[in-house]
A and B are shown apart, each in its own frame.
Chain A
Amino acid sequence: MNTPYKNAKLHDCRDAFTATLEALAGQNSDIVAVCNDSVGSSKLGNFREQFPERLINVGIAEQNMVGVGAGLANGGKIPFVCAAAPFLTGRALEQIKADVAYSQTNVKLVGISSGMAYGELGPTHHSIEDFAWIRALPNVPVIAPADRAETAAAIRWAAQYEGGCFLRLSRVGVPDLLPDDHVFELGKANMLRDGHDVTLIANGVLTHRAMIAAALLEARGISARVLNMASVRPIDEAAIIDAAHATGAIVTCEEHTIFGGLGSAVAEVVVDHAPVPMTRLGVPGVFAHTASANTLLDDFGMAPDAIAQSAEALIGRKG
């Protein structure tokens, strides 16, 4: 992957997650963490040291983990249920549907190492279906922060939000994009740069790749708008419609299958309200081959150069 973030310091957003959770737990004794033996991979070691009774490790048992979360919420607690995203969402999907979404419980689902963060470990450990699965459910906002500031902001938001939600975090290093004092607003996109020829919409680890692509496009005389769309459901319809009107073309980039994820969610708005040409970049409906997380993104056409090329090609299709 290439400039201008090549030399930028990269951060593992799990650190922002746990530091924020620990700070919030220090202020509110009702905040608890629930995990499936994932103290290490969820980076909950410090939390356990500070609040040993409030780290509820159910062992390797994801269905029980989500149910326990729902029960803790019934008992007045604010549970952050943390596990590797593929197992949290895949194994416990019915618990998420019945016990969290349908029962409207105050359970914060935190999917760690989402997308293809586990790279070479293979598709069993990839979570590239979770946007589709969870956004199909009522009552559970779906959020994929782009950097450590947005991760911290989303965790602060989740702690005070009355209801369940799904926070999709990665472990793949990303540069800082948003200001330290960023405030997360559910259902609101952030315009990271304005432009008038095309709009790039991304979230999670793809946002900084979209920013690099926009810089590459600028060098070729193309003005690209970049929307960071952490909130997949509810989605910022106004920002999408405005982008369609202002730029006339939209490229979506996601660490997810192109079936049912961010691109699909954006396309639903575009089709209903402002039809313009679109290209949906993501995993094209296959199980990934063996490669690291970043290499997989490159291989699936989401290297910044490739994003820029897709944008250029799309501009050629504008009416």
Chain B
Amino acid sequence: MDSSELRRIANRIRRRDLQAVFEAGAGHIGGEMSVTDLLTALYFHTMSVDPDAPLDPHRDRLVLSKGHTALALYITLAEKGFIAKDDISSFLKHNSALNGHPNRVKVPGVETNTGPLGHGLPIGVGMAKAAQLNGDTWRTFVITGDGEMQEGSNWEAIMAAAQFKLDNLTLIIDHNRLQQGARLADTNNVAPLAPKLAAFGWAVEEIDGHDMDQICRALSPETITQGQPKCIVAHTNKGQGISFMSDNVAWHHKVPSEEQYKQAMAELEEAAQ
């Protein structure tokens, strides 16, 4: 699939996400807008997954460790065919399978139940280790937020992945520079991330996390360094695609008013042209 088609899908996911947050009256729209291009590239360009066989032992795995952006994952899975597109309208509703954080038992295509931060990468290390033990070629991808890298468990996993030489593991850090209440730089500035990962023995690449060509190239197997896990530091914007949300800390989990909703949707629709 070429990058213009990937951009079209990403735009469609953003519009559905905006609508679902507006209708549900909740969600984490800022981080969902920042991670959407990464999810689109993974599911429609890079990963080998089959909606008809969601537990195929040889599937590639994605762990969305920043589980609060579950809605973006749900919509991506619906676009891919794992769940029905109509299901998205049940987001956060009574007894819906789609709660605020992903649940593998309820939602086909979800690999593990995330929500508390700092859980996804250790699980990704275990997945990659299982494939390595078997000599299997499937790959493991983990997406964390940048604020999430403040969790110590990530650094435990970073050390283990390098020790185990897990070159079948790719960590993508959604580096939007904002956390829930403030800028990363004003909270606990774990940036710059790339030299830290490199110092821990990872192969590191920095990209524009909204440039589909750069994302796809960074995810391609040709860019793997043998014997090293890979980290992609994806420079993104929280609220990407919506002018008044973009890079604005207020939009971590704020819900747009009707007027804001209309403006945001108009901007996304214009971008789709």
Interface residues of A, Cβ cutoff 8 Å to B: 32, 53-54, 56, 58-59, 61, 63-77, 79, 94-95, 98-99, 102-105
Contacts and interface: CB of A to CB of B under 8 A. Distances in A.
B143 interface: no
Given A67-B122, A71-B122, A99-B112, A53 B127 contact: no
A79 B103 CA distance: 21
24 contacts: A61-B159, A61-B160, A63-B118, A64-B122, A64-B156, A67-B126, A67-B153, A68-B129, A69-B126, A71-B112, A71-B125, A71-B127, A71-B140, A72-B126, A72-B127, A74-B61, A75-B130, A76-B134, A79-B126, A94-B119, A95-B153, A98-B119, A99-B113, A103-B105
Q: Which of A59, A66, A102 has the most CB of B within 10 A?
A: A102
B116 interface: yes
Given A64-B156, A68-B160, A73 B126 contact: yes
Given A69-B126, A75-B127, A95 B119 contact: yes
A182 B61 CA distance: 40
Contacts of B125: 64, 67-68, 71
Interface string B148-182: 00001100110110011000000000000000000
B128 interface: yes
A67 B127 contact: no
A63 B164 CA distance: 17
A58 B61 CA distance: 21
Nearest to B142: A71
A109 to B, nearest CB: 14
A72 B160 CA distance: 14
Given A58-B160, A68-B129, A75-B130, A63 B112 contact: no
A71 B121 CA distance: 9
B113 to A, nearest CB: 4
B115 interface: yes
B113 A103 contact: yes
A77 B133 contact: yes
A284 B207 CA distance: 57
Contacts of B140: 71
Nearest to B61: A74
B119 A68 contact: no
A64 B160 contact: yes
B44 to A, nearest CB: 23
Q: Which of A32, A58, A105 has the most CB of B within 10 A?
A: A58
B106 to A, nearest CB: 11
A67 B155 CA distance: 13
A66 B119 CA distance: 10
B124 interface: yes
B76 interface: no
Interface residues of B, number: 35
Nearest to A104: B105
A106 to B, nearest CB: 12
Q: Which of A65, A68, A79, A102 has the most CB of B within 10 A?
A: A68
Interface in B90-136: 103-105, 111-116, 118-119, 121-131, 133-134
Contacts of B105: 103-104
State the main secondary structure of chain A at its contact with B. helix
B192 interface: no
A37 to B, nearest CB: 12
A98 B127 contact: no
Given A77-B133, A99-B119, A68 B126 contact: yes
A53 to B, nearest CB: 6
Nearest to A71: B126
Contacts of B119: 67, 94-95, 98-99
Given A99-B112, A103-B113, A104-B105, A53 B133 contact: yes
Contact of B112 (A32, A56, A58, A70): A70
Contacts of A95: 119, 122, 153
Contact of A74 (B103, B118, B127, B134): B127
A120 B251 CA distance: 53
B122 A77 contact: no
A25 to B, nearest CB: 13
A32 B164 CA distance: 15
B115 A59 contact: no
The 9 A-B residue pairs whose C-beta atoms are closest, nearest first, are: A71-B126, A75-B130, A67-B122, A64-B156, A61-B156, A68-B126, A63-B153, A71-B127, A71-B123
A103 B126 CA distance: 15
Contacts of B133: 32, 53-54, 77
Nearest to B127: A71
Contacts of A65: 122
B130 A58 contact: no
Contact of B126 (A61, A70, A104): A70
Given A58-B156, A59-B160, A67-B153, A75 B126 contact: yes
Contacts of A104: 104-105
Contacts of A53: 133
Contacts of A98: 113-116, 119
B113 A74 contact: no
A214 B134 CA distance: 52
Nearest to B118: A63
Contact of B57 (A58, A67, A68, A76): A76
